[in-house]
Amino acid sequence: MPQFSPATQRLLRTLLGVAVIYLALILGQPAGLDLVRIVDDIRTTPTNIVQQLIIGLSNGAIIVIIALGYTLVYGIIELVNFAHGEVFMLGAFTALLALSLFTSTTAAGGLTAPLWAALLGFIPAMLVCGLLNAGIERLAYRRLRNSPKLAVLISAIGMSFILQNVGLQLGAFGKLTQVGPQFEFLRVLGSNNAAPKSFPVVLSTENLLGDFIIRVTAADLLVMGTALVLMLALNWFVQNTRLGKAMRATAQNRDAAAMMGINVDQIIALTFLIGGALAGAAGMMFGLYNGTAVFTMGFTAGLRSFTAAVLGGIGNIRGAALGGVLIGLLAAFSDQYLAVRWTNAWVFLILVLVLLFRPTGLLGQESGDKA
Amino acid sequence: MPMLELQDIHAYYGNIHALKGISLTIEKGEIVTLIGANGAGKTTTLRTIQGLIRPRGGSIKLEGEELTKLPAHEVNRRGICQSPEGRLIFPRMSVQENLEMGAFTRTDKDGIARDLERVFSLFPRLKERVRQKGGTLSGGEQQMLAMARAMMGSPRVLLLDEPSMGLAPLLVESIFDTIQALNQQGITILLVEQNARMALGIAHRGYVLQTGEIRLQGDAAKLRDDEEVRKTYLGEG
């Protein structure tokens, strides 16, 4: 950084401010910052606000569950597990394959699966992703534990590329349906590797509120309910069980935890297992709510969830819950009132702003951390 | 057979040869003190015994049982508990939870309850703050908590790293009284201190560490009278 005189600094800051406002005006219009349209929308259909609140909470619920995986892992080894979004993506694929075993064709030609299959499907999705995430830690992170943090980060990014390609190649199994009827269940994968896969319809899309203008579907309730149950279960586990306490101790001071007789390697593996299982559950939730899975979905979900974790205060479980809900709402309102294609940019902007001005996030870590 | 025995221990921090062949023994029921200047290797010795640093040579034995290659949590399970340098208490856990973590590997509920009563009677201050988060305690209280937490592991050997560090003189006296009281209850103690006068006052034997090597050793009373110790570590004459 070159040293400028205070006067030059003031000038530069003013110029920067003008440039930002100018850019906002130019970019604002295509980015959907169209005040006339926004006011008009709110005036003609004010119920949209409530509708987006519900959609935002449902999407937020999924983001929360993914964000918990980021925050748990960061809390214990201070690593941003860049492969986590891809674990979620593979969770959605696992959920889809689990559902495919119970999928049947309706009279109208669509695919459908029973609700019990979806609920049971959480088990393989969580199991596969939990073991996958713990496996990633064992394979790609553990030996780098005492290396510079950058080395682990690069390893995580590499892992995410590998997993994304696994997701892409999984699609190829759809071609097995041509081999024989025993592979018929793989038709959910379609014939194009890269194309989005459709989930069978599990929940009725009818409005639980009847003809009311605001829609609440069974999927909304299922997603929010599942997220709530998972959050309460995680909180109970971390606060009250022996292993949960060992997790907290390891996160607060790894050396001290080892001195207490805690097998730190085991606890770190457990943390990855739990984070992965949550990502798997989120994969099923996403499939049930949005009806699709595609091999690139891990990136967007990862960006939003990571931002949620940072916004709430990375390493903080309650922070991840708060941040997830906020990002879900932000995305929903941006989709409705700004522009869908800019939503990710807004999320990214939030990430940058939080990192710049409040890196500890909204809830942060309490003081006395490193005492 | 000595309680704890180090033979020719060599340890490194990166390329720095921090311990250059340390040998020491601690008999059951003793207080042994390790004194020396900053950077002499006192904390490194304790971390090596605990298994947080793996020695490149030599052996560590607890009542004849080899500890040398064991990871820290295994060393703890064999009965070596430490109140470490910098205290390293769990800041976002309550005093109660910190003490529970000290007894993490134990399953004898009655024994744990008894030990909890014991540390509360030694440190009544901790009992008053039992619900308070560790990170909000004062330095002296954190020191008490670190010692109490180590005692909750029901140690065969208690390692104390600079328990007087940063404490008011009155508090230092009371901490040393407590160490002596613990020893009288039968706990074997290895005490690392910069406050050589106080340490030699309560220890049975002592070792003087200088740049990773044992420079002097012997009865605490003899070391107190030693010309060199008095000059260098006790600030006399």
SS3 for chain B is CCCEEEEEEEEEECCEEEEEEEEEEECCCCEEEEEECCCCCHHHHHHHHHCCCCCCEEEEEECCEECCCCCHHHHHHCCEEEECCCCCCCCCCEHHHHHHHHCCCCCCHHHHHHHHHHHHHHCHHHHHCCCCEHHHCCHHHHHHHHHHHHHCCCCCEEEEECCCCCCCHHHHHHHHHHHHHHHHCCCEEEEEECCHHHHHHHCCEEEEEECCEEEEEEEHHHHHHCHHHHHHCCCCC
Q: Does A371 touch chain B (CB under 8 A)?
A: yes
A318 CB neighbours in chain B (<8 A) are none
Cross-chain residue pair B101–A370, CB shorter than 8 Å: no
Q: For residue A258, what are the contacts with CB-CB under 8 A and spacing of at least 6? A: A264, B51, B52, B71, B72, B73, B76
How far is it, in rounded angstroms, from Cα A275 to Cα A214?
A: 34
First to last CA, chain A: 33
Cross-chain residue pair A371–B135, CB shorter than 8 Å: yes
Question: Do B161 and B189 contact (CB within 8 A), yes or no?
Answer: no
Question: Do A189 and A174 contact (CB within 8 A), yes or no?
Answer: yes
- Packed helices A343-357 and A297-312: angle between N→C axes, nearest 10 degrees: 30
A253 CB neighbours in chain B (<8 A) are 88-91
pLDDT, mean over chain A:
91
* CA-based nearest distance B227→chain A, Å: 38
Q: Does B165 touch chain A (CB under 8 A)?
A: no
Enumerate residues 12 to 71 of chain A having a beta carbon within 8 A of any beta carbon in chain B: none
Of B77, B91, B136, the CB nearest to A261: B77
Burial A257-282 (b: 16+ CB within 10 A, else e): bbbbbbbbbebbbbbbbbbbbbbbbb
Cross-chain residue pair B73–A369, CB shorter than 8 Å: no
Q: What pLDDT is recorded for position B88?
A: 96
Give the amino acid at A321: A
Q: What pLDDT is recorded for position A2?
A: 62
A259 CB neighbours in chain B (<8 A) are 50, 52, 72-73, 76, 81-82, 84, 88
A264: helix, coil or strand? helix
pLDDT < 70 regions, chain A: 1-3, 29-31, 365-371
Q: Does A210 touch chain B (CB under 8 A)?
A: no
Sort A223 into a burial class: Cβ within 10 Å, 0-12 / 13-18 / 19+: buried
Cα–Cα separations (whole angstroms), residue A157 to A79, A80, A86, A91: 11, 10, 10, 18
Q: Which of B13, B92, B142 to probe the A interface (max A CBs under 10 A)? A: B92
Question: Do A269 and A134 contact (CB within 8 A), yes or no?
Answer: yes
Residue found by looking up tokens 């149950």 in the block:
A229
Task: Give me the count of residues in chain A.
Answer: 371
Of B51, B102, B142, the CB nearest to A260: B102
Question: Do B212 and B20 contact (CB within 8 A), yes or no?
Answer: yes
Cross-chain residue pair A258–B72, CB shorter than 8 Å: yes
B102 CB neighbours in chain A (<8 A) are 260
Of B52, B88, B93, the CB nearest to A248: B93
Q: Does B109 touch chain A (CB under 8 A)?
A: no
Question: Do A124 and A116 contact (CB within 8 A), yes or no?
Answer: no
Question: Do A137 and A115 contact (CB within 8 A), yes or no?
Answer: no
Question: Do A257 and B76 contact (CB within 8 A), yes or no?
Answer: no
**How many CB atoms sit inside 10 A of residue A296's CB?**
15
Enumerate residues 139 to 168 of chain A having a beta carbon within 8 A of any beta carbon in chain B: none
**What's the gap between Cα A150 and its chain centre?**
23
Q: Does B202 touch chain A (CB under 8 A)?
A: no
ipTM of the complex: 0.93
How far is it, in rounded angstroms, from Cα B3 to Cα B26?
A: 6
Q: Does A369 touch chain B (CB under 8 A)?
A: yes
Q: For residue A301, what are the contacts with CB-CB under 8 A and spacing of at least 6? A: A62, A63, A66, A85, A88, A89, A282, A286
Cross-chain residue pair B72–A255, CB shorter than 8 Å: yes
A242 CB neighbours in chain B (<8 A) are 104
φ/ψ of A32, rounded to 5, equals: 95, 5
Cross-chain residue pair B84–A264, CB shorter than 8 Å: no
A262 CB neighbours in chain B (<8 A) are 73, 101, 104
Cross-chain residue pair A367–B73, CB shorter than 8 Å: no
B131: closest CA among B109, B106, B100, B152? B100
Q: Name the residue in chain A with its Cα closest to that of B138.
A: A371
Q: Average pLDDT per run of 10 along chain B, which is 237 residues long?
A: 96 92 96 93 96 96 95 96 95 96 96 95 94 94 95 96 88 91 94 92 95 94 90 76
Q: Name the residue in chain A with its Cα closest to that of B88.
A: A256
Q: What pLDDT is recorded for position A365?
A: 63
Please, how many CA atoms are within 13 Å of residue A323, restricted to the half-sphere of its CB? 33
Of B82, B93, B136, the CB nearest to A259: B82
A366 CB neighbours in chain B (<8 A) are 91-92, 133, 135
